[in-house]
Amino acid sequence: MNRYSTEDIQAAADGDNQQFLVFSLGEEEYAIDILKVQEILGYENVTRIANAPDFIKGVTNLRGIIVPIVDLRIKFNLDKVEYDGQTVVIVVNVSDRIVGIVVDGVSDVMTLTPDQIKPAPELGVTMSADFLSGLGSLENRMLVLVDIDKLLTSKEMALVEQVGE
Amino acid sequence: MDITDFYDTFFEEAQELLADMERHLLELDVEEPDSEQLNAIFRTVHSIKGGAGTFGFEVLQNTAHLFENLLDHARHGELTLRQDIVDVFLETKDMLNDQLNAYRNGEEPDQEAFERICKTLQQLALEEIAGSTPENGAPAAATPKEAAPAEEPKPAQDSTPAQTAEVGDEQAGQRLIVAFSGVSEENRKLLVEELEQFGTIQAQSGDDARYEVELETTTSADDIESVMCFIIEPEQVETRAAAPSSAETPTKEPEPAAANEQQQPGKAAEQSAPSVQDEKPKPPTAKKPAAKPANKSKAGESSSIRVSVEKVDQIINLVGELIITQSMLDQTVSTLEGITNTSLINGMSLLQRNARDLQEAVMSIRMIPMDFVFSRFPRVVRETSSKLGKQIELATEGESTELDKSLTERIIDPLTHLVRNSLDHGIESPDEREAAGKPRAGKLTLSARHQGGNIIIEVSDDGAGLSRERILAKARESGLNVSDTMSDDEVWQLIFAAGFSTAKEVTDVSGRGVGMDVVKRNIQGMGGHVQIMSTPGQGTTIRIVLPLTLAILDGMSIKVGDEVFILPLSTVLQSLQPSKDDLYQMAGSDEVLRVRDEYLPVVAVHQALDVAGAETDPTRSIAVIVQGEGRRYALLVDELIGQQQVVVKNLETNYRKVPGVSAATILGDGSVALILDIPGLHQLSRSKKDAPQPGSPASDKTMLSSSGG
């Protein structure tokens, strides 16, 4: 059985086309809603936070605001995790919080029509389908559409203090 | 425009008026009341009443009305003030405050309390005034339009009209022209409705630019203006007498009186009470407080603006950023060759100076004087001392010392507690004092001063001082671990233990032993600490040391491995190189360090925070002795870098609470450094030792998979 967020499908249908920022993690292409993106930075000067999960690289100074940096490559168990000139941080704004996510590179901005967005299949262990809003199909490319809000506020990411913790 | 738009303005002004009123009431000399001061009090009540009427806050209006009548008699010398009458006045002021708050929260004020205070005030009016000025009983029905509104309890009729008649007699038949300039039609309607409450409108004409209303009234021009000012700006209204119709309205100067009200409050006050007969002539400068009567808030408006704290914080943030950018540029410029880049280097030093000045100026926006805190204590002292039957003189020093606004708000509760404690336990009863050869009246001093980056607030009394024996005995009784050899300082700190009180009897003022521990916790929560100095027979001084602001912290930067951390300087006691002989292993993995015959738990920072590449041999690292929550620890670090002021940044805004870390800051090179939380760090290192020593990355993995599944 396929699971997908009906809300997102609905939103896409109502608002016609949706714009996504496409980024790469290893060989795969992912995309997030462009409206969540605040800016894109190079990866530098991250201060480690002790006793945090290893995919939380630490915090950085974004013009006076302390912003946590999450490496999605580590989170998604990619084999190759390197920090070089290509490594970028996408600063996203979710649930009134500012979080930086480290990815291998940002390729482009895509506009998807509602019929280009297919429901996401149940995936393996890497990423629970809860955090996907669908798959975008474009000629010969396939984009994994990530629900960045849900992903970053999830308990798994340990970014937000959960009630009762 | 909707009238509710003005609510907030009214609430704020009324609040300030009430604060003014309280100050005047407390300063009032009961034996020989200063007429200026009485007038000032009268005007505050009157303005509140007027405003309350405009906005339909009936309960508030009625209470103020009764209060105003009493005050009117007081200022005409028909009501002889006594201490207990002033107490009733203060109580009424509190009631007005409660009612105001109720309206502000969109609730109806407590009806029962309202009726009670009405009864008290009416009783007072009957007993005190009826006796002394019987002739006032006659024209009772003369001024029905001033009588209290319908919902007021019946008995009001007996007393209130009697008093208002007085006012009526003075200025009967007075005709005033009230002119509004630049007032829109809707507002004008409101204003005219408002004016109808004061008397009969004889004529009205004009347009938006200037609109004149001819009013026959018994109320003075000043009073009308102050009510109008709740709706429009003072400049927009002017009043003058239309025709002096009665000989009893004496030197009512036409125009300038009202216009000058702000600048010459003293003069205005005299005019609003022109026929005070038995008032002793006094130079207006006789008492300083009278110089700042009710119009303070209005006068303040022209020279200050209300800005939300958020906006100020945003500016502070931006300036902090500017400073960091500037110091980054500075580093770059310092590598340049001097001669060819002279103008750039000069420009940089100018920029540096300007940026620092800017930072200081911006920080000072958040600062408010301690007077804001101290001004509420005369009341506390007065009430507590009368409850306890003690005579207390209160002195305050350093009221102009400035402190961050968020701190002033949080210091009030602990300080109130300390003051009450001093009054209750510190200062002896008058008889005991006399027996000890001291003046019968005890002295309580509140002082504030700056020292370095701290503000020092002291509560001192000249009472009996703390009793070492009693504290020790009490501590043993409550099962605390104490010895007779403890230093005085340590003994005094015992009173901060939870549930500790040496009071012989529990009073409703203090003595339950809850509180001192709360005081200490609150102050520590603000990043400060408490010291006690006490001499038997001579008194006790409790000293609160607070950082000037929460936004900036004096820090000691330390290095562990390649990472830089900040320790709050206030927690650092000393640093030393531990020698092997002073280190002891305890119960397995616990380690203690002996420093001056004290054994301190050792917290290795690299262990607690998993820092790679740090010095692991304690004898080759540096031990920083720090204090946190009353306990001392020896932190092992690699290197001390130096002291610096850092801007405190919250980690929880975008991330979450991190164990062992209280906040973060941004260093000169733009990188983030974490500010360590000493007790948290100790807990962390203990829990690490208790856990079966896993490799640090592995522990993260297990945490991940367990939560991820």
pLDDT in tens, B461-482: 888 888 888 888 888 877 777 7
B residues 54-73 closer than 8 Å to A (CB): none
Domain with CATH 2.40.50.180 in chain B: 552-708
CATH of domain B369-547: 3.30.565.10
How distant, in Å, are the alpha carbons of B226, B256, B272, B292, B297 from that of B261?
Answer: 9, 8, 11, 12, 13
% of chain B beyond a pLDDT of 70 = 72
Residue B539, exposed/middle/buried by CB under 10 A (0-12, 13-18, 19+)?
Answer: buried
pLDDT mean over B288-298: 41
How distant, in Å, are the alpha carbons of A88, B347, B432, B551, B673 from that of B359?
Answer: 33, 18, 53, 12, 21
Q: Residue A47: its chain B contacts at CB < 8 A?
A: 563, 664, 671-674
Q: Which residues pair with B214 in a beta bridge?
A: B177, B203
How distant, in Å, are the alpha carbons of B329, B332, B437 from that of B335?
Answer: 10, 6, 71
% of chain B beyond a pLDDT of 90 = 2
Q: Which of A51, A131, A155 to mutate to test the interface with B (most CBs of B within 10 A)?
A: A51
Average pLDDT, chain B: 73
Put simply, whether A121 touches B (Cβ < 8 Å) is no
pLDDT band at B38 (very low <50, low <70, confident <90, very high): confident
CB-based contact A48 B671, cutoff 8 Å: no
Please answer whether residues B75 and B38 qualify as being in contact, where contact means their C-beta atoms are separated by less than 8 angstroms: yes
Question: How far does the CA of residue B403 sit from the closest CA of chain A (Å)?
Answer: 24
The pLDDT assigned to B702 comes to 36
Helices within B125-184 (DSSP H only): 131-132, 156-170
Put simply, whether A123 touches B (Cβ < 8 Å) is no
A116 pLDDT above the threshold of 80:
yes
Q: What does the alpha-carbon distance between residue A92 and residue A99 come to, in Å, rounded to a whole number?
A: 5
Put simply, whether B700 touches A (Cβ < 8 Å) is yes
Put simply, whether A160 touches B (Cβ < 8 Å) is yes
Please answer whether residues B608 and B660 qualify as being in contact, where contact means their C-beta atoms are separated by less than 8 angstroms: yes
Domain with CATH 1.10.287 in chain B: 309-366
Q: What does the alpha-carbon distance between residue B544 and residue B524 come to, in Å, rounded to a whole number?
A: 10
CB-based contact A64 B655, cutoff 8 Å: no
Q: How many domains does chain A have?
A: 1
Q: What does the alpha-carbon distance between residue B324 and residue A165 come to, in Å, rounded to a whole number?
A: 35
CB-based contact A155 B707, cutoff 8 Å: yes
Domain assignment of residue A164, yes or no: no
Put simply, whether A54 touches B (Cβ < 8 Å) is yes
Task: State pLDDT tens for residues B223-241.
Answer: 666 666 666 666 667 676 6
Please answer whether residues A151 and A25 qualify as being in contact, where contact means their C-beta atoms are separated by less than 8 angstroms: no
A149: domain range?
A: 6-154
The pLDDT assigned to B536 comes to 84
Q: Which of B127-131, B404-408, B588-592 has the lowest mean pLDDT?
A: B127-131
Put simply, whether A66 touches B (Cβ < 8 Å) is yes
Domain with CATH 1.20.120.160 in chain B: 1-164
CATH of domain B171-272: 3.30.70.240
Q: Residue A52: its chain B contacts at CB < 8 A?
A: 658, 700
| CATH 2.40.50.180, applies to B552-708 | yes
Q: Residue A68: its chain B contacts at CB < 8 A?
A: 654-655
User: Can you tell me the ipTM of this complex?
Assistant: 0.81
Domain assignment of residue A92, yes or no: yes
What CATH number is attached to the domain comprising A126?
2.40.50.180
CB-based contact A64 B320, cutoff 8 Å: yes
pLDDT band at A100 (very low <50, low <70, confident <90, very high): very high
Put simply, whether B324 touches A (Cβ < 8 Å) is yes
Question: How far does the CA of residue B688 sit from the closest CA of chain A (Å)?
Answer: 10
Q: Which residues pair with B180 in a beta bridge?
A: B211, B237
Task: State pLDDT tens for residues B598-612.
Answer: 888 888 888 888 888
Domain assignment of residue A81, yes or no: yes
**The pair of three-digit structure tokens given for residue B602, joined into one six-digit string:** 């050792």
**Nearest Cβ partner for B610 among A50, A60, A63:** A50
CATH of domain B1-164: 1.20.120.160
Domain assignment of residue A1, yes or no: no
Put simply, whether A10 touches B (Cβ < 8 Å) is no
Task: State pLDDT tens for residues B88-131.
Answer: 888 888 888 888 888 888 788 888 888 888 888 888 887 776 54
Domain assignment of residue A55, yes or no: yes
Q: Which of A60, A61, A62, A71 to mutate to test the interface with B (most CBs of B within 10 A)?
A: A61
Residue at B132: amino acid letter = S
**The pair of three-digit structure tokens given for residue A30, joined into one six-digit string:** 């992912």
Domain assignment of residue A160, yes or no: no
CB-based contact A161 B684, cutoff 8 Å: no
CB-based contact A54 B703, cutoff 8 Å: no
Domain assignment of residue A163, yes or no: no
CB-based contact A67 B659, cutoff 8 Å: no
Q: What does the alpha-carbon distance between residue B194 and residue B211 come to, in Å, rounded to a whole number?
A: 15
Q: What does the alpha-carbon distance between residue B128 and residue B131 come to, in Å, rounded to a whole number?
A: 6
The pLDDT assigned to B446 comes to 92
Q: What does the alpha-carbon distance between residue A154 and residue A150 come to, in Å, rounded to a whole number?
A: 6
Task: State pLDDT tens for residues B639-674.
Answer: 888 887 787 888 888 888 888 888 888 887 778 999
Topology annotation, domain B309-366? Helix Hairpins (1.10.287)
The pLDDT assigned to A160 comes to 75
